[in-house]
Amino acid sequence: MNKVIGIVGAAVLLAGGYYLGQANQPGPTIIKVPSEPRATFSSSGAEEVADTANVPARSLQTPTSGELIVVKDGESIQEAVNAASPGAVIKVMPGVYKETVYIDKDNITLSGVIEQGNYPVLEGEGVRNDAVLYSGNGVTIENLHITHYKGNGVMGQAGNNYIIRNNWIVDTGVYGIFPQLGKNGIVSHNIVSGIEDAAIYVGMSDNVDVVYNQVYESVAGIEIENSRHALVEGNMVYDNTGGILAFITPGLPIKTCGDVIFRNNFVVDNNHENFAIPGSLVSNIPSGTGILVMACDDVVVENNIITGNKSAGMIFTNFELASSASNDPEADPNPNRPRILNNIMRNNGDSPEPVVRAFLATQLELRGPDIVDTVGMDDGCILNPERYRTLGLEKYGECEFDSTANVASYTLPEPVPPRSMEGLDKGKLVYYGVCAGCHAYNSRMIGPPTQIIQALYMDNPQGIADYAANPVKKRQDYPQMPPQAHLDEETRLAAAKFMLELTK
């Protein structure tokens, strides 16, 4: 054959859809992608950070004045805090510190010094309730080993611009890390385990990043409750009862939850038995739940690895799951506008808990799904639904975007001001920032509902204030209340009066 003719002939065969001139062998399938890209993810939180492209992600830092205080083994951390001026850095040397530390000043850095693997240890001995409480703004708490407390490892009480990082928290009772009613915060690179409610619990807060933590052997790994603009990313969440949660708890002063991103997390083998306080909200979490969204709106679940959770990989549900929670007419019970993007899900639902099996029976199913929506929302969206075993997602559409990468952080580039007392009663602020962490109005949390307290004390706010300073265990079905003696009597009395006047 003429060489030129042979080459031309091969070219004609290729153009006709054959490889290398071999007849009857199909060519590649060519799919033209749309010329317009998918829409960029946006939300109210994204809009707040839209003009900060040149600001490094998570640039929040505690301002310092140059004052340095060193605490050595055998000395008191609390005495160092008392002596500190705003902007001080308190360095805590390795040793064992048996105390509760309360920080009510602004811009305090409490920083442990780790030497050859030896931490400064805050030791609760099973008798103290809280390790660190802060109400100041601009507080950093880092590099501490906290263990054997009955209440909380680190609790924020209405402090803004906080950083809680690089701590090792084990067996601290109700919560490991608990920022409450705070705005603009970072919880990062902590190791938390052995918690009977939530290892990391963000309550009634705004603009918070929970990133690169390791949480395990707790009832709830990471919980975002009645909060907005939260990013949960890069966490290792395993061997909890439930891995990552977004909740509305009925009866709390803040009635909404939304604009939450769960992204790039490992949510693996969360099959631990539920050892929560009986009757508490999290006591209803089915063992084997990877991700649980209850009544929280605009939750995006993206690029997570969710495997080995025996009941279900993801559950979207309403208040029906929380049998101990009363209805709140001001809180929407449905998980509106869920968005599910590009997750890897395997080996979920192999041995569902009874509450999940009961729902599966209504669907004529035995094995738990990768993803279930018990409500059957019609405003959700999912990419590549064929990847997953799903129930209740028949009305979901296709998402208009496939990434939230344009949202690097939900923290704000500049510190936000302290919460203003202007127009806000002191008792109301303390109730929101302290009391509501354990007491909802008409539903059970850690402590009795506010309605029960009102019935017990009626016209006796002084009785509440005195009890809060030095509580004793009264009921077997509730844990002992942590003492609030760090609040002065006037503040406790104001909170008690507000609590007795509350109507919803």
Which positions ≥6 away from 61 have C-beta within 8 Å? 140, 163
Residues 419 and 159: their CA atoms lie apart, in Å, by: 8
Residue 197 lies in a domain: no
| Residues 131 and 169 placed together within one structural domain of the fold | yes
Sign of CA dihedral 182, 186, 190, 193: positive
In this structure, what are the phi and psi dihedrals at residue 346, rounded to the nearest 5 degrees? -145, 145
The letter for the amino acid at 420 is S
| Residues 305 and 257 placed together within one structural domain of the fold | yes
pLDDT at 323: 53
Which positions ≥6 away from 173 have C-beta within 8 Å? 129, 149, 150, 151, 152, 195, 196, 479
Length of the chain equals: 504
Residue 203 lies in a domain: no
Residue with tokens 């990471």: 222
pLDDT at 11 over 50: no
Q: Where is pLDDT greater, at 37 or 166? A: 166
| Residues 360 and 463 placed together within one structural domain of the fold | no
pLDDT tens, 208-252? 999 999 999 999 999 999 999 999 999 999 999 999 999 998 877
Sign of CA dihedral 276, 279, 282, 285: positive
The answer to whether 305 and 369 have CB atoms below 8 angstroms apart is no
pLDDT at 334 over 60: yes
**Which structure tokens are listed for 413?**
């580039």
Q: Which of 142, 164, 180 marks a domain boundary?
A: 180
In this structure, what are the phi and psi dihedrals at residue 470, rounded to the nearest 5 degrees? -145, 70
Residue 132 lies in a domain: yes
Query: Cα 453 vs. chain centroid, distance in angstroms?
Result: 28
Which positions ≥6 away from 498 have C-beta within 8 Å? 425, 427, 428, 430, 431
**Which structure tokens are listed for 416?**
């936000």
User: Domains in the chain: how many in total?
Assistant: 4
| Residues 11 and 109 placed together within one structural domain of the fold | no
Q: Where is pLDDT greater, at 325 or 228? A: 228
Q: Which of 164, 180, 196 marks a domain boundary?
A: 180
Residues 402 and 503: their CA atoms lie apart, in Å, by: 44
Residue 201 lies in a domain: no
| Residues 353 and 481 placed together within one structural domain of the fold | no
pLDDT tens, 453-498? 777 778 877 877 778 778 777 777 676 777 777 777 777 877 777 7
In angstroms, the Cα distances linking 380 to 217, 257, 348, 392, 451 are 32, 16, 21, 11, 36
CATH of the domain at 491: 1.10.760.10
| Residues 395 and 297 placed together within one structural domain of the fold | yes
Residues 471 and 464: their CA atoms lie apart, in Å, by: 10
Q: pLDDT category, 451, cuts 50, 70, 90?
A: confident
pTM, whole model, 2 decimals? 0.85
**Burial class (CB within 10 angstroms; exposed 0-12, middle 13-18, buried 19+) of 475:** exposed
Residue 452 lies in a domain: yes
| Residues 252 and 383 placed together within one structural domain of the fold | yes
In this structure, what are the phi and psi dihedrals at residue 210, rounded to the nearest 5 degrees? -115, 100
Grouping H, G, I as helix, E, B as strand and the rest as coil, residue 193 is: strand
pLDDT at 424 over 70: no
pLDDT at 420: 61
| Residues 257 and 349 placed together within one structural domain of the fold | yes
| Residues 346 and 435 placed together within one structural domain of the fold | no
**Burial class (CB within 10 angstroms; exposed 0-12, middle 13-18, buried 19+) of 448:** buried
pLDDT at 16: 39
| Residues 439 and 410 placed together within one structural domain of the fold | no
Strand order in the sheet with 101-103: 101-103, 130-134, 152-157, 175-180, 198-203, 220-225, 242-247, 289-294, 312-317, 371-373, 390-391
Longest dimension (CA), the chain: 109
Q: Which of 374, 393, 416 marks a domain boundary?
A: 416
Q: pLDDT category, 412, cuts 50, 70, 90?
A: very high
| Residues 155 and 18 placed together within one structural domain of the fold | no
* Radius of gyration of the chain from its Cα atoms, rounded to whole angstroms: 26
pLDDT tens, 81-113? 999 999 999 999 999 999 999 999 999 999 999
Residue 199 lies in a domain: no
pLDDT at 44: 61
Residue 148 lies in a domain: yes
Which positions ≥6 away from 488 have C-beta within 8 Å? none
Q: Where is pLDDT greater, at 352 or 23? A: 352
Nearest partner of 484 among 100, 78, 159, 98, judged by Cα: 100
The letter for the amino acid at 393 is L
pLDDT tens, 335-375? 999 999 999 999 999 999 988 888 888 888 889 899 999 99
Q: Which domain covers residue 6, as residue numbers?
A: 1-30
| Residues 7 and 113 placed together within one structural domain of the fold | no
DSSP classification of residue 413: S
Query: Cα 181 vs. chain centroid, distance in angstroms?
Result: 13
Residue 167 lies in a domain: yes
